Amino acid sequence: MKVKIKICGINDEKSASASKGADYIGLVFYKKSPRYINISLAKRIINKLDKNQTKVGLFVNHKIKYIEQISKDLNLDIIQLHGNEDTKYIYEIKKKISIPIIKAISIKTKKDIKISQEFKNFCDMILFDTKVNENTFGGSGVSFDWKILEGFKYNKQWIIAGGLNISNIKKAIKITNAPIVDLSSGVEDKVGVKSEIKIKELIKYVKNL
């Protein structure tokens, strides 16, 4: 099984070009994030992507109308909800926007993994990220204990994120058998600044595993 790659937090055109080969490209619309981009920049980034790359818009506790507008303007392929969104909220989005949804679940223990079952009938994919604190919504650069996902089975596609980089990703994949890996801080020179070299090296490395 070939592992798919998601590069999240792309916020400049050069990094977008360097990300060719990644299956998913994450665009962050959460203003408190150092990786936040506006619609104008998002359009320029999208123009640098290959047609077969999946455009994912990341939102955190946003108003549904805002998500609807961004999704329409950018012709997003997937919506990623990375906040405290509940099933009722997701149900309302599904009624208005007919594109797949990724729900991020922050985890630290096996008990946290069970939360994903609540979203099984509402979301198309689940993303497991590191639980840091209630005010941190991804991109922390901190890994969780991958062993809590050892043997995990899910009837839909799922993703692991949180502190992944070229030095630990092989181990993370081996332990979790995750079908998709998501990287952000692990391909940056500093917080919010993507590295073209790290992106290219990571993609090549994972593709050759």
- CB neighbours (10 Å) of residue 168? 13
Tokens of 14: 């050069």
Give which of 48, 69, 39 is closest to 25, Cα–Cα: 48
Nearest one of 198, 184, 156, 143 to 56, comparing CA atoms: 184
Task: Supply the DSSP symbol for 116.
Answer: G
Write down the number of H helices and E strands in the chain. 7, 10
Strands (E), 147-209: 157-160, 180-183, 188-190, 193-194
User: Among the options 8, 12, 123, 189, which is catalytic?
Assistant: 8
Q: What is the distance between the alpha carbons of residues 85 and 57, in angstroms, rounded to a whole number?
A: 15
Active site residue 123: no
Whether 86 is catalytic: no
Q: What's the rounded Cα separation, in Å, for the pair 20 and 72?
A: 23
For residue 182, the cross-strand partners are 6
**Candidate list 12, 50, 129, 189, residue with the active-site label:** 129
Catalytic residues: 8, 129
